[in-house]
Structure 1
Amino acid sequence: MSLFANTPPLLEFDLLRSFVAIAESGSFTRAAEQVFRSPAAVSMQIKRLEETLGKSLFLREARQVRLTSEGEVLLSYSRRLLRLNEEAVSQFMAPSIEGTICFGSPEDLATGVLPKVMAQFARSHPAVAVNVIAGSSTELLSLLDAGELDMALLTAGNVGQDPTRGEVVFTEPLVWANRSGGLAVESHPLPLAVASRGCCWRTMALEALDKQGIEYRIAYTCDQSSGMQAAMEADLAIAPIPQSHMRAPFVKVDDRWGLPELGEYQLLFEHRKELGPAGNALARYIVDAWKTPR
């Protein structure tokens, strides 16, 4: 009996490319243009993929197609598989990309998710040196305009920030967080840990509390999210933070306290016009990394 008799079927990368194109464009026709195939050929590819997995991947509607729950799961895997395939092939077939890139990031990302992403990029592009500068979004935009940065991740909606700049690469809910078992949320007025004036998280939080008529006081102000976390850990305050930033010992404030919903915040990507091969490689990697659920 063959050792491979019971192995699962292999997913074909051409099928996955078409699948991702449909998921991102919301249309078989637009996806067909992106992958240089006819709409009928793309439809046949998706039929093969669905037959391979034994699952329906799309809900066909009048004006668009939407992913099923199984399709949402496959999208995450597909993006990662395609990116890994590109990295592997580039190691052996693509010419070596060299250069130095100056990259800007908000402090909370520079000390959280970003190092893991940069480590993955370094493994696939070892001849590219990336210098990271952490700062506020308004500071990073100024550095971009001054030519001191090649590209940057930015939070949207900060006071004084040009709303027309940047590509949205990630959206997620902003939530109220406090120390697990902490008592700060029971205090009156409500003690808050927020960033300095101009930060979109601060603005969203204060506007939501004002609209609902909840009394609060700014108990802790800091330019860096690490300061807000320190205040929460000491149970001095609660804070508005992105859902993906939730880490022990912090938890989402229970609904029984009646705090208002904060809505969603957006992460943007901005870069100078001419990046060169190294910059283009990093730009694609950054955008794909944040568009892929982690």
Structure 2
Amino acid sequence: MLNIPAGIDPDLLRSFVLVAEGGSVTRAASRVGRTQSAVSMQMRRLEEALGQPLLLRGPKGLSPTPHGTWLLDRARRLLAMHDEIVTNFRTPEIAGHVRLGSPDDYALVWLPEILAAFAESHPAVEVEVICMPSTELLERFERDELDLTLYSYGNERSPAVGAERLWRGPLRWVGSAARPVHLMRPLPLALSHNGCIWSRAATIALERAGVSWRMAYSSASQTGTHAVVLAGLGVTVGLNASLPPGLRLLGAEDGLPELPELEIALLRNPDLPAASALAARIKAGFEARRAPPAMAA
């Protein structure tokens, strides 16, 4: 259950989430189209309603208090559900064709449940799923060849303008559970193409740590790299989650350097009602499953 007192205005929670995530009332105000003083007043109203301080000012801006951290997770889930309900009932007759971009492993693990729920609520919308790496998906979206797309990015890159962040977490090394391939030097890698942010993060981390490596196998999908690792021919990278039998997560205790955190985001065409409706369903699906499965970049 979301133990939020009855009568809390969703607009207050939406402003709180933006302030907590961005560390700034000014940035949150620009996102919701209000003045800075209006958002500050919203934060005071929310704290008074809940009876606890939610935000603390520090050297890097505003950050959530322990009570604020507890609320932040639940507010995200509540708002995702709220937006899905509003979208569904305000636009029950949406029809048309939607082009959804997704890295292939997102499609395999995340999308079946999301698309099934969307088809039930919007039976007149046809969804075309296009699978390829994040960099190529972003290029196709910029060329107006996709109506919305999931993609991932790292610390070296800011989210695209208009992107909605869905998840943030660490990238992890993945190796064979049966063979100590991670001890080989140079380290054999099974990664995607050179433009993949996961590949760049892995090779940069190895070079900074002074670990020699070689590109043993290349695959555009996580499924392909997992096959190589299962065969005991290399190591790869993925997100911190459950893995197929025969694989395990590797770390500093295995002689491998720490990898950076990555984010999963969503871009959509705001002028297309069907894309907006599907985006709401995707956000709700991610909120319902906060721990992500291993996926390709």
Q: 1:156 to 1:21 in 2, by over 3 A?
A: closer
Q: Which amino acid aligns with 1:16?
A: L
Contact 1:176 1:253 in 2 (8 A): yes
Deviation at residue 32 of structure 1 after TM alignment: 6.7
Secondary structure at the residue paired with 1:275? coil
Q: Which amino acid aligns with 2:258?
A: E
Distance in 1 (CA, whole Å) between partners of 2:23 and 2:141 is: 33
Q: 1:164 to 1:146 in 2, by over 3 A?
A: closer
Deviation at residue 43 of structure 1 after TM alignment: 0.5
User: TM-score if structure 1 supplies the norm length?
Assistant: 0.76
Aligned to 2:188: 191
Aligned to 1:205: 202
| RMSD (Å) for aligned C-alpha atoms | 3.6
Q: 1:133 to 1:216 in 2, by over 3 A?
A: same
Aligned to 1:59: 56
Deviation at residue 149 of structure 1 after TM alignment: 1.9
Deviation at residue 226 of structure 1 after TM alignment: 0.2
Deviation at residue 253 of structure 1 after TM alignment: 1.0
Q: Which amino acid aligns with 1:155?
A: S
Aligned residue runs from structure 1 range 65-214, under 5 A? 65-92=62-89, 94-156=91-153, 167=163, 169=165, 170-214=167-211
Deviation at residue 78 of structure 1 after TM alignment: 1.6
Q: Which amino acid aligns with 1:276?
A: L
Bigger CA drift: 224-233 or 179-188?
Answer: 179-188
Q: Which amino acid aligns with 2:163?
A: E
CA radius of gyration, larger in: 1
Q: 1:198 to 1:44 in 2, by over 3 A?
A: closer
Contact 2:153 2:159 in 1 (8 A): yes
Deviation at residue 146 of structure 1 after TM alignment: 4.7
Deviation at residue 240 of structure 1 after TM alignment: 1.8
1:43 aligns with 2:44: yes
Bigger CA drift: 11-20 or 224-233?
Answer: 11-20
Contact 1:29 1:39 in 2 (8 A): no
**Structure 2 residue ranges without an equivalent (≥5):** 292-297
Secondary structure at the residue paired with 1:65? strand
Aligned residue runs from structure 1 range 258-273, under 5 A? 258-272=255-269
User: TM-score if structure 2 supplies the norm length?
Assistant: 0.75
Aligned to 2:7: 12
Contact 2:181 2:234 in 1 (8 A): yes
Aligned to 2:294: none
Contact 2:252 2:258 in 1 (8 A): no
- Percent identity of the aligned residues? 35
Larger relative contact order, structure 1 or 2 (CA cutoff 8 Å, min sep 6): 2
Distance in 2 (CA, whole Å) between partners of 1:140 and 1:119 is: 23
Distance in 2 (CA, whole Å) between partners of 1:142 and 1:40 is: 41
Distance in 1 (CA, whole Å) between partners of 2:254 and 2:39 is: 54
Aligned to 1:3: none
